[in-house]
């Protein structure tokens, strides 16, 4: 009987109220009142996974840290670090530095990405690592991946998925025409025909306020939903069964969890 109760299906999208009921959210204390989406900021998100049931199989799988800094030359530097532990016990670590224009789409100018996998035995798996170096100009991306040259041509306004939080936090809260663009997924795979649309507000009891909701749709991706507070601060976003929840302690919590879990079982 207990096992059956733990297998109650979620059955609906991961809205703010649903995430709250699944204990996936946490009220974030001490957030700066003077948050400026166009200035320097740093967000760390806890990566939470839902396996489709309300009372079992849902857990934290890693963190995503984004840091935005204005440079002396007038550009924007986005520092990215992502760590995800899968259920087989493999840890994927990605670090990236992306220099962008200080425009509405945070258009990337140049970037570097280093990705590595660590097995359940704690050893790095050399064959699965990647190293990217890229520059974009005049509608062309020139990239070197593990020593191999790759070129991609751009036709439209574009940005990267790790730059999207910067983009979304600068958008107005009004239901005008959607923002249309192409997107580089993990700064390596071009996804065309993306749209960002403001959808109004949704209730989230844990934050004691209505949150502003944007939705992203486009070719080659699952829909993304983003929720921001009144100061245009991105509190969390969701795609299918994965939620990214603003949590300044997420990195520390994840590092502690690696010391206590059986990596062989995930």
pLDDT in tens, 201-245: 988 767 677 899 999 999 999 999 999 999 999 999 999 889 999
Residues 6+ positions from 260 with CB-CB distance below 8 Å: none
- Tens-place pLDDT, residues 136-154: 999 999 999 999 999 999 9
Q: Give a yes or no: residue 265 inside a domain.
A: no
Distance CA 104, CA 169 (A): 10
The answer to whether residue 226 sits within a structural domain is: yes
Range of the structural domain that residue 225 is part of: 12-260
β-sheet bridge partners, residue 233? none
Q: Structurally, how many domains does the chain consist of?
A: 1
Q: Is residue 216 part of a domain?
A: yes
Residue 224: inside a domain: yes
> Is 4 part of any domain?
no
pLDDT band at 108 (very low <50, low <70, confident <90, very high): very high
Q: How many CA atoms lie within 13 A of 167 on its CB side?
A: 28
Residue 2 in any domain: the answer is no
The verdict on residue 1 lying in a domain is no
249 within some domain: yes
Measured distance CA(151)–CA(142) in Å, rounded = 5
């Amino acid at each position: 009987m207990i096992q059956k109760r733990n297998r109650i299906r979620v059955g609906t999208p991961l809205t703010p109220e649903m995430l709250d009921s699944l204990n996936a959210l946490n009220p974030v204390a001490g957030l700066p009142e003077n948050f400026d989406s166009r200035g320097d900021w740093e967000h760390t998100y806890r990566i939470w996974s839902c396996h489709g049931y309300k009372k079992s199989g849902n857990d934290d799988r890693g963190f995503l840290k984004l840091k935005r800094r204005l440079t002396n030359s007038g550009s924007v530097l986005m520092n990215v670090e992502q760590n995800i532990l899968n259920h087989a016990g493999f840890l994927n670590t990605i670090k990236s530095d992306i220099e962008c224009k200080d425009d509405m789409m945070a258009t990337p100018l140049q970037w570097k990405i280093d990705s590595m996998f660590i097995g359940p035995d704690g050893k790095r798996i050399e064959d699965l690592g990647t190293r990217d170096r890229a520059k974009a100009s005049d509608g062309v991306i020139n990239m070197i991946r593990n020593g191999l040259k790759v070129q991609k041509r751009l036709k439209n306004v574009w940005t990267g998925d790790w730059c999207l939080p910067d983009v979304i936090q600068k958008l107005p809260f009004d239901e005008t025409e959607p923002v249309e663009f192409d997107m580089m997924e993990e700064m390596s795979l071009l996804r065309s025909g993306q749209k960002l649309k403001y959808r109004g507000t949704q209730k989230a009891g844990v934050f004691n306020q209505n949150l502003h909701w944007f939705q992203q749709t486009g070719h080659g991706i699952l829909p993304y939903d983003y929720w921001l507070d009144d100061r245009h601060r991105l509190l969390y976003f969701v795609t299918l069964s994965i939620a990214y929840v603003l949590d300044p302690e997420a990195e520390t919590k994840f590092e502690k969890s690696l010391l206590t879990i059986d990596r062989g079982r995930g």
